[in-house]
Structure 1
Amino acid sequence: MTESVNEIRPDLGLYDYLPWPGRPKITWPGGAKIAVWIAPNIEFYEYDPPNNPTRTPWARPNPDVLQYSHRDYGNRAGWQRMMAAMDRAGFRGSVSLNVALCDHHPEIIRACADRGWEFFSHGIYNTRYVYNMTIEQERAIIRDAFDTVRQHTGQELAGWLSPALSNNLWTMDILSEAGIQYTCDMFHDDQPMPVKVKTGRLISMPYSLEMNDVIVYNSQKVTPRHYGEIIKRQFDQLYKEGDESGTVMCIPLHPYLVGQPHRIEAFAEAIDYIAGHEGVWKATGREIAAHYHASGAYDAMIAAMAAHDRGTR
């Protein structure tokens, strides 16, 4: 069937479907059943960002002192509590970084880098979306992110989470074109999955809205104790399923939320619980992506998807 310009597509066209029973087995280093990675979003919100006609950063009129200062709490006090809890449990972070923070708060960057944490890009500011940008404007943001992280940490970017999960139709193609290895902008699976791009190899890394403290605290309005239970239940199920094939669990965090004094202990107890199990790979996003490629899992998944597609025609 020929698709007209105005015809609605049935799906995003970014990835293929492959049900669990037909997938090739994923193996993690040391025979681990599950790869667990923690992704602290260390962000900077401008109080008066450039206007974007598609989305307004602040619900209240500018200057929104309330929301700005609440988020600034994470960069002043919250991140230190979060980091201490992760240190105790032996987890390194994969920092979802608004790269302008390298200039605003280099002390935080140094503390993360000294611990061997990974840095991946969450845009320049969390208040600057890619909606309505041209492809060249978006490419410029990607280049800026590479250059800034390299300058301040010596690391080459491997991962990407678009600011406020904003995307254009070409976003995945230009991320892969630039050398990004994994994206966190899709939430469709508990294993890494190949993304359809024009050049290179890009995978969708399991991130999570369900485990994200923004959703849990701001939308679902749960208690800290309940959040700790959610983390443990998610782990228990994916740990069990890891007997058959390696799974991935991500815990996305925001220091201005999880780092509040009344919330930190529930989070700390939950990740201590995870760390107390054998067969857990405490990884970074970069390490998961690298192993996925080196082990042949990417190629095996592509082949299995193609076979499944042929079998359903």
Structure 2
Amino acid sequence: MSDQLSGNPAAGPSSRERVPYEPITQRRPFVLPDGARVAVWTIVNIENWLPQNPMPRTVLPPPMGQPLLPDVPNWCWHEYGMRVGFWRFLEVLRSRNLRATLALNGTACTEYPAACRAALDAGWEFMGHGLVQKPMHRVEDQADAIRQTVEAIRAFTGKPPRGWESPGLTETAETIDLLAEAGIEYVADWVLDDQPVPIRTRSGEMVSVPYTVEINDVVMSAIQQQPSDEIFRRGRDQFDQLYKEGATIPRVMAISIHPYLTGVPHRIKYLEALYDHILSHPGVAMCTGEEILDIYKAQGATRQAN
């Protein structure tokens, strides 16, 4: 079957057509550099929450259950992350000689230029994360929003992003096609494997680099409201299992963090503990998303048309 798809853009092909089922034990081998067992990549998410709009997430329910705008306490909850929490991330990663992938709303380049500049100076990869923090289903013109995001990152960094993570991992039936047409090479939205896998689009092939909804502080801290040390406990257990399996079939582990969640004082030491646990093991490749993409592509592991 060809890696290109056609059909009604509004309906689009099914997800199963885009990513045919292929067990991890029955595919072409994926190999990491120097025989590494696990590739670990960190995704730092910075977002533009519009003060005049309802907040994407909340830490405080509205008084008497009635939504109120502007939502000052919940907007400030997020804003703390950009003023304080982000800089804790920067130091945690810098002190361990680690680089992250910065998933950012395109408008964050102008709303939070100091944070973006610090990430650029630290050598982080920049990945598109929508124009503002809004589900793709609520974006009136997805193609234009993707174009504006790519151009904002290109203008700030000097090169367009190669990767994309949709706000809330949301995609309509045609989002993946629009991303491919905009030059995006990999996505983090399709959380369905421990290795990179190809996704068929109407203009060629996209790659899914394994992201995470489990080692993700939105899920742990904002939704499940787990204790402060959950990112360490769950992250350690995730890594240990992937490291054991990686002796025969290499894996990818993502760590997704947000400055307003893991960047707060009572959680940051547990992120440090997780990195120190991971770094105490040989055979680990600390990567960015685009580095994992390049490893995958260099092996010729992408699916070719029959």
1:109 to 104, 113, 116: 116
- What secondary structure does 1:244 align onto? coil
Kept in 2: contact 1:119–1:155 (CA 8 A):
no
User: 2 CA distance for matches of 1:142 and 1:10?
Assistant: 22
Kept in 2: contact 1:94–1:117 (CA 8 A):
yes
User: 2 CA distance for matches of 1:44 and 1:11?
Assistant: 29
Q: Calculate percent identity across the aligned residue pairs.
A: 35
Partner residue in 1 for 2:136: 130
Structure 2 gap ranges (5+): 1-7, 62-66
Report how far residue 61 of structure 1 moved. Answer: 2.3
User: 2 CA distance for matches of 1:215 and 1:266?
Assistant: 16
User: 1 CA distance for matches of 2:147 and 2:139?
Assistant: 15
2:86 equivalent to 1:79: yes
Report how far residue 201 of structure 1 moved. Answer: 2.1
Question: Which one-letter code corresponds to 1:20 in the other structure?
Answer: I
Report how far residue 124 of structure 1 moved. Answer: 1.1
The structure with the largest helix share of the pair is 1
Partner residue in 2 for 1:171: 175
- What secondary structure does 1:257 align onto? coil
Kept in 1: contact 2:38–2:242 (CA 8 A):
yes
Deviations 1:80-113, CA, capped at 9 Å, x for gaps: 1111111222220101101211111211111101
Report how far residue 177 of structure 1 moved. Answer: 1.5
TM-score, normalisation: structure 2 = 0.88
- What secondary structure does 1:84 align onto? helix
Partner residue in 2 for 1:155: 159
Report how far residue 12 of structure 1 moved. Answer: 4.8
2:279 equivalent to 1:272: no
Partner residue in 1 for 2:3: none
Question: Which one-letter code corresponds to 2:73 in the other structure?
Answer: L
Report how far residue 132 of structure 1 moved. Answer: 5.0
Report how far residue 33 of structure 1 moved. Answer: 1.3
Report how far residue 249 of structure 1 moved. Answer: 0.3
Report how far residue 222 of structure 1 moved. Answer: 1.6
TM-score, normalisation: structure 1 = 0.86
1:181 to 158, 181, 185: 185
Deviations 1:51-77, CA, capped at 9 Å, x for gaps: 9xxx97777321111110000011000
Kept in 2: contact 1:224–1:267 (CA 8 A):
no
Q: Kindly tell me the number of residue pairs found equivalent between the two proteins.
A: 289
Kept in 2: contact 1:25–1:244 (CA 8 A):
no
Aligned CA RMSD, in angstroms, stands at 2.2
